[in-house]
Amino acid sequence: MKRLTKLVLAALVISLMMVGTVFAYQQAPMLDNMDLPPIEERLPENPMVLPVFEAIGQYGGTLRMSMKDPFSTGAVHSGFFSEPLVKWDPTGTGFEANLAEKWEVSEDGLVYRFYLRKGVKWSDGVPLTTEDIEFWYYDNLLNTDLTPAFPVWLSSGGEPVELHIIDDYTFEFRLKEPNAVFIDNLAFQAGGAAFHSIMTVPKHYLKNFHPDYVDPDELLAKAQADGFDTWYDYYYEKRDFRINPDIPVLTAWKPESGLVGREIQYWTRNPYYWKVDEAGNQLPYIDRVAVRIVGEREILNMMIANGEIDLDFANMTLPDYPFLKEHEESGGYRVLLWKSAFGSQLQLFPNLFHQDPVMRELFNNRDFRIALSLAINREEINEFCFLGLATPRAAVISNVSPYLRPGLDQLYAEYDPAKANAMLDELGLDKRNAAGIRLRPDGKPLQFVIEYPMTSEFGPYDDIIDFVAGYWRDLGIDVAVKPLGISIHFDRSYTTEMDFTVWADGRGLHPFIQPSYVFPAEPGRSNGALEYARWWNTGGKEGIKPEGDILRMMELYQEFVKEPDPDVRLEIGRDLIELSARTILGIGTVGLAPIPVVAKDNLRNVPEDATRDWVLVMIGHLRPEQYFFAQ
Amino acid sequence: MLNYILRQTLMMIPTLIVISIIAFAIIQLPPGDFLSTYVSQLTASGADVDDATIQALNRRYGLDQPIYVQYIKWVTGMLRGDFGQSFEWNRPVNTLIWSRLGLTVLVSSVTMIVTWLIAFPIGVYSATHQYSIGDYLATFFAFVGVAIPNFMLALVLMWIAFSVFGQSVGGLFSPEFIDAPWSWARVWDMLKRLWIPVLVIGTAGTAGLIRTLRANLLDELGKPYVVTARAKGVSERRLLFKYPLRVALIPFVSTVGWMLPQLISGETITAVVLNLPTTGPLLLRALQSQDMYLAGSFIMMLSALTVLGTLISDIILALVDPTIRYE
């Protein structure tokens, strides 16, 4: 009898819950007195139900954050305003449905069909349909004034992918050749340009500023009256929701004002947001977000210690960690350590096209590169520069990635100066001058200059380079170091003038989106292999065709993106990563340095353990719309 | 006199033309341009920009045109009051500068007034009471004031404001007042914060002013006309204000015009450290990112103000200093 009662009760509870999720939606109290259609009409037919990380939240509050300057929206805004068709899941490795309720890929991998969530509305109440997709594709992307260079990620076989509209809510992309990272790129938001992506162009609003829809002369006159030279400069401004508060959005919050000339930008909740929690509460929980521009790190630190910041996931690096920990109590916050996806915080690429033939030969010798790598004491760098919290490793992708075969992260990464010295001796560098500097085969002393960019984005570069230079001096090499302004270093990496290119090893989680960290794929970006990258990048028109392992890597990449079978593809990807690690084009130091994240004690649903990365659109996959203040 | 002013005014025109050329050239001097800065910043944050996009942006910003074409476009625009477009902000330069000018002038002029109010009495006191304890104290603090870098003082004061008074730091307003319309509460909120920048920027100026005034005045005080006046029984106070002080002020007057550009850019470093919404940080940023038209227009504006200030100085000098000739 007792069991029966329990059963009945359980059934009752379950059916009640079902009723709850299907029929009764709740909205934030701040919307109660607004002149809005009822919540059921604002939500789509099938709202996206977002599971919470910790608990069902409470409505209300203002979330205070900060940004370095009005141009760091990539770090701060992107995650909050990222609503792609398909989104990264919270682990950052898989995908989940977002604005596309579901999607299908044809067996040959050439047709991607997307089904939009029916009844999703822009923040002004106008429904989202494939008309907006059409407008985005034809009137934005294919308009050469607006988009002079069609995005590479959306090209297939050198041409734009074709768009086919099936009905109001269904459309297809048709590709010329298979592309294994197509969905990845969609989740990554149009190659990183989250602000001008597929889901930020409401046709009903933007057509008023487009010469195909309104009188071009009148449009130009309006543009000029606003101080713009061309209609498209005017259009850029109107399209950019960070600057123009009038444009409707699909995101959880909507900016109340622009950014230019402001010290603080407020975002307010979007009453038409199309996500709910499991209890039927419309998201977001938090009413308002205040983003303050704080240019000076010291001030931001004090504001955090003073409890004036509720969430910071973008501005802190490991050197701030002790200070943040020290003031945890007075500031009323907790410091979380999130993972980064940098295979190496700093790696050095020997220039394979060095203008000095002797150096060129040395740098092209894999054993020489291995010897340089073995001479680096990564434990010491980790202790001194990263509080011992990073991981000594080679410059390869993150251990979390399925593409990394075990052990590769420590390949040539052990500290073995004796072996390094022996290897150099064997390379014919065994003669030394009076000062103990090794002599090159042509009798000149072996020396190089490490030019590196002055940035602290990925770690204390000055200190790391000092250590590396010291280890290499111990090998009997005459090493000088030279810090460069970041843009000067960048310009010089388009030349073959430097001994080394220095940069972090990014894309640790998704190496095959823009694969320039795996093999030379983008001139000036990395790999010290400028001419090979140019060859790849121009499809063989310019640059120099590589041979051997580097050519093999390029071939493997092509096989990888065209392989429809996921299991086969996985193996090809692993082969490629392994070959890249063994070729050791970049000499790694330490990687996977955690990122300190500040969250107010009562700010809940912020994941304790997470990965933050550019490819994941910062915290886009960490569901900021369900953060809430426990009251 | 009128002739003199007219001549000086006309002289401004060729000066400004030369300055415009130099300003434009200086911005082009560092290697690279706005685009390389822009792209390297994007890369630093993890994005990757392909070459096709870079070339497209180059066209859009007109950076593919020869330098002289860019210069002529800028200069002719300026004559119409159009300073061009800021690349980084995608905004007309005018609106950017204007939006920050009000608070900048406010901070600078309050600082200037405070500086004078403090420096003049002290300077006069330490000259007339040379080698007294008061003079030594004033001298000591003046040297300390000159010696402490502004940014350092700013950081220390901020730390005190934060740790002793628990005041929220940075900026000119508390967060809740940043976007609020003007009201007494907002003014009070600003005054509570204004003392830090005023003190920081003021110290160095005050110290310098005290030392200059003291030296100038000491030069005059020993001169025979002072002795004569004193011998004739003129009261000390009247004597001081009527003759030596006026003469001692002439070097000030001749540089008073330089206060004009100071109003706009004098507090750059302090403003950066203190996160003030003034024009200084905007200029610095524009120079760093090689945002050509914004930086160029700024330099142009500062130079124009300097030239104008010099003119004003000349005129005032001509009025107060009878030894100036109009030839």
Give me the percent of chain B exceeding a pLDDT of 90. 2
Interface test with A, best of B27, B51, B167 (most A CBs within 10 A): B51
B179 in contact with chain A, both atoms CB, cutoff 8 A: yes
Mean pLDDT over all residues of chain B? 82
Interface test with A, best of B83, B85, B91 (most A CBs within 10 A): B91
Chain A contacts of B168, Cβ < 8 Å? 303, 306, 308
Chain B contacts of A498, Cβ < 8 Å? none
Token digits of residue A491:
């310009």
Which range marks the domain in which residue A587 is found?
Answer: 344-432+504-591
A376 in contact with chain B, both atoms CB, cutoff 8 A: no
Q: Which residue has the higher pLDDT, B288 or A117?
A: A117
Among B37, B94, B275, select the one facing A487 at the smallest CB separation: B37
- B44 to chain A: nearest residue by CA? A457
**pLDDT tier, B102 (very low <50, low <70, confident <90, very high otherwise):** confident
Residues of chain B with CATH 1.10.3720.10: 100-320
B47 in contact with chain A, both atoms CB, cutoff 8 A: yes
Round to whole Å and give the CA distance between A586 and A580.
9
A148 in contact with chain B, both atoms CB, cutoff 8 A: yes
User: Per mean pLDDT, which range of A8-12, A38-42, A281-285, A286-290 is the poorest?
Assistant: A8-12
Strand partners, B93: none
Q: Is residue A310 part of a domain?
A: no
pLDDT of A107-164, one tens digit each? 989 999 999 999 999 999 999 999 999 999 999 989 988 887 787 788 888 889 999 9
**pLDDT tier, A15 (very low <50, low <70, confident <90, very high otherwise):** very low
Among B59, B175, B290, select the one facing A264 at the smallest CB separation: B175
Q: With 80 as the cut, is the pLDDT of residue A198 above it?
A: no
Q: Domain check: are A233 and A348 in the same one?
A: no
Q: Which residue has the higher pLDDT, A380 or A152?
A: A380
A168-178 mean pLDDT: 95
B257-273 mean pLDDT: 77
Helix extents (H) in chain B: 2-28, 34-44, 51-60, 67-79, 93-128, 133-147, 150-163, 175-178, 184-221, 224-231, 236-242, 244-248, 250-255, 259-265, 268-274, 279-288, 292-320
* Three-state secondary structure call for residue A508: coil
B85 in contact with chain A, both atoms CB, cutoff 8 A: yes
- Overall domain count for chain A: 2
Which of A245, A247, A250 lies closest to A262, judged by CA?
A245
CA–chain centroid gap for B59, Å, is 36
Chain A contacts of B42, Cβ < 8 Å? 74, 192
Chain B contacts of A306, Cβ < 8 Å? 162, 166, 168-169
Q: Is residue A558 part of a domain?
A: yes
Count CA atoms within 13 Å of residue A332 on its CB side.
Answer: 10
User: Per mean pLDDT, which range of A102-106, A113-117, B69-73 is the poorest?
Assistant: B69-73
Q: With 80 as the cut, is the pLDDT of residue A224 above it?
A: yes
Chain B contacts of A193, Cβ < 8 Å? 47
Q: How far is A15 from chain B (nearest CA, A)?
A: 46
CB of A617 closer than 8 Å to CB of A594: no
At residue A20, the pLDDT reads 44
Chain B contacts of A455, Cβ < 8 Å? 44
Which of B285, B290, B288 lies closest to B34, judged by CA?
B290
Q: How far is B117 from chain A (nearest CA, A)?
A: 30
Chain B contacts of A295, Cβ < 8 Å? 272, 275, 281
Residue that is last in its domain, among A250, A268, A287: A250
Q: Is residue A53 part of a domain?
A: no
Q: Which of residues 14-33 of B touch A (CB under 8 A)?
A: 30-32
- The CATH superfamily assigned to B100-320 is MetI-like (1.10.3720.10)
pLDDT of A546-599, one tens digit each? 999 999 999 999 999 999 888 999 999 999 999 999 999 999 999 999 999 999
Interface test with A, best of B35, B39, B40 (most A CBs within 10 A): B40
Tokens 């709850």 belong to which residue? A20
Chain A contacts of B158, Cβ < 8 Å? 298-299, 302
- CB within 8 Å: A295 and B272: yes
Specify the CATH number for the domain of residue A415: 3.10.105.10
Round to whole Å and give the CA distance between A343 and A581.
11
Among A148, A152, A295, select the one facing B50 at the smallest CB separation: A152
Chain B contacts of A301, Cβ < 8 Å? none
pLDDT of A434-492, one tens digit each? 999 999 999 999 999 999 998 888 899 999 999 999 999 999 999 999 998 877 888 88
Q: Is residue A44 part of a domain?
A: no
User: Per mean pLDDT, which range of A172-186, A439-453, B7-21, B92-106 is the poorest?
Assistant: B92-106
B151 in contact with chain A, both atoms CB, cutoff 8 A: no
Count CA atoms within 13 Å of residue A356 on its CB side.
Answer: 16
- CB within 8 Å: B44 and A486: yes
Which of A607, A68, A589, A617 lies closest to A317, judged by CA?
A68
- CB within 8 Å: A152 and B55: no
**pLDDT tier, A1 (very low <50, low <70, confident <90, very high otherwise):** very low
B275 in contact with chain A, both atoms CB, cutoff 8 A: yes
Q: Is residue A152 part of a domain?
A: yes
Specify the CATH number for the domain of residue A208: 3.90.76.10
Q: What is the DSSP string of A15-76?
A: HHHHHHHHT--B--GGGTTS----HHHHS-SSPEEPPPSS-------EEEEEESSTTTHHHH
Round to whole Å and give the CA distance between A596 and B304.
47
Burial class (CB in 10 A: 0-12, 13-18, 19+), B65: middle
pLDDT of B110-168, one tens digit each? 888 888 888 888 988 988 888 999 899 988 888 888 888 888 888 888 888 878 877 77
Round to whole Å and give the CA distance between B95 and B282.
12
- CB within 8 Å: A302 and B94: no
Mean pLDDT over all residues of chain A? 90
- CB within 8 Å: B274 and A295: no
Q: How far is B106 from chain A (nearest CA, A)?
A: 17
pLDDT of B19-57, one tens digit each? 899 888 887 777 777 877 777 777 666 666 666 667 777
Q: Buried b / exposed e across A573-598, counting CB within 10 Å, b at 16+?
A: bbbbbbbbbebbbbbbbbbbbbbbbb
Q: How far is A458 from chain B (nearest CA, A)?
A: 9
Q: Domain check: are A387 and A241 in the same one?
A: no
